[in-house]
Amino acid sequence: MILHDAQKRLRQARPSDLEIEDVGLLAALGRVAACDIKSLIAIPPADNSAMDGFAVNAAEMREGSEYSISQRIAAGQAPTPLEEGTVARIFTGANMPDGADAVVIQEHCDYTENTVKINRSAEPGSNVRPLGQDIQIGAVVINKGQRLNSVDLSLLASIGVAEVPVYERLKVAIFSTGDELVEPGEPLQEGQIYNSNRALLTGLCRELGYEVIDCGIVKDTLEETKSALSNAAKCAHLILSSGGVSVGEEDYIKPAIEELGSLDMWRVQMKPGKPVAYGSIEGTRFLGLPGNPVSSFVVFQLLGVPLMQTLQKQNQSQPLTYMVEAGFDKKVTSREEYIRVKLVRRADGELVADRFKNLSSGILSSLSWADGLVRHEIGEKIERGMKVAYLPMTRSML
């Protein structure tokens, strides 16, 4: 199966049965809204001044004339209607008095405490933020399925929302298979390696707002693999495993899933990461990632994320891709390939993607070096200087 079809299939998975809970505004960061949220108030709630200056009736103003100041309105104060033939001293964020329709900024005036000479007149509406300019009553400010970020929370705060209905966090059970694995902190015996996928997958899931159930290391036997899977199926919405997913003598994921539940997808034409299994056990979804940490990472990003977003009832994020120049050549590929690259800026300002020299998926340091992946489509050749699709590995704004 090609990657695109596999992604489509995972996006069509049946979402998990998730409870809805009300959480305090600040606790809603990274959670997924369980309904549309509409504003019960207008923002701004009244016409107010965008500048420090003088609130006037624009039609009455004559350039060069002097007016008396009949009231002083600071932000937070309630004005009285503007007396005819006068102006009001006003400050940024203060409500406009009835009868005034413009603000002349203080830089365009000569003024004392009681009088002001207007040196430049104003059009009706100038320097005024009208009622409802930002948000109208009844406007939907957050959509169901939206994952809430800091800006979303500030928008909710601006309309006075203190509690947000969100879906419970998707519970993801994670285990690593392999007789060779030990956890950091343990001494390393001959033939052993440290488990790096546990830290990788746990971290990625947490960054995405999911709850991780740590199921440790599972030995390479059919019995242990089955028992890990059926225990995890009882407490999670999704099981993520790493390793043991090929057809070697020490790979037990496929037979275990086939015995306990159903295997719906196996092997995807992608590189790194061809061995991958998707299925379910008693209603709990299962995604088996390859053991190599680089492959695990790539499959997690390209297949795990769309699946988890679907299960979490979350709107699908659009993967960001940028067209940049390739700084390397690569032969035609028969599997959609994701190449670890780093962007460098050439002297002429152009961004060029440099490839990590060793393409082996066993090289974890290549991921740490890279800042993104370049997509290499089936049947295409990459030549230095041509534009290629670059996917950043982080969404950080810095």
Binding site for ligand AMP (CB under 6 A): 176, 178, 180-181, 193, 195-197, 242-246, 290-293
Nearest approach in angstroms of CB 302 to ligand AMP is 17
Residue 237, classified by CB atoms within 10 Å of its CB into exposed (0-12), middle (13-18) or buried (19+), is buried
Token pair listed for 291:
């053991």
Q: From the list Mg ion, ligand AMP, none, pick the one residue 196 interacts with, judged by a Cβ distance below 5 to 8 Å according to partner type.
A: ligand AMP
Choose the one of ligand AMP, Mg ion, none that binds residue 366, judging by a C-beta under 5 to 8 angstroms depending on kind.
none
- Taking contact as CB under 5 A, which single stretch among the options 37-45, 106-114, 285-293, 384-392 is the one that binds Mg ion? 285-293
Which partner, ligand AMP, Mg ion, none, binds residue 181 by CB below 5 to 8 Å per kind? ligand AMP
Residue type, 135: I
Judged by beta carbon distances under 5 to 8 A according to partner kind, the member of ligand AMP, Mg ion, none in contact with residue 269 is none
d(C-alpha 232, C-alpha 228), whole Å:
6
Q: Which does 179 bind (CB under 5 to 8 A by kind): Mg ion, ligand AMP, none?
A: none
Among 79, 243, 288, 372, binds Mg ion (CB under 5 A): 243
- What's 184's DSSP letter? T
**Closer residue to ligand AMP (CB): 95 or 366:** 366
- For the CB of residue 180, give the shortest distance to Mg ion in the complex, in Å: 7
Write out the binding residues for Mg ion, residues 78-107 only, by CB under 5 A: none
When CB distances are held under 5 to 8 angstroms depending on the partner's kind, the choice from Mg ion, ligand AMP, none that residue 306 binds is none
Of 7 and 195, CB closest to ligand AMP:
195
Least distance (Å) between residue 192 CB and ligand AMP: 9
- Which of the 8 DSSP states describes residue 58? G
Q: Find out whether 311 and 16 touch, Cβ atoms under 8 Å.
A: yes
Contact 139, 154 (CB under 8 A): no
CA distance 365 to 207: 21
How buried is residue 346: exposed, middle or buried, by Cβ count under 10 Å (0-12/13-18/19+)? exposed
Cis peptide before 44 (omega within 30 of 0): yes
Minimum gap (Å) between residue 363 Cβ and ligand AMP: 11
CA nearest neighbour of 318 among 391, 370, 375, 371: 391
Q: Which residue is nearest to ligand AMP (CB)?
A: 291
Q: Is 178 in the site for Mg ion (CB under 5 A)?
A: yes
Residue 19, class by beta-carbon neighbours within 10 Å (0-12 exposed, 13-18 middle, 19+ buried)?
Answer: exposed
Least gap, CB of 185 to ligand AMP (angstroms): 15
Contact footprint for Mg ion (CB under 5 A): 178, 243-244, 291
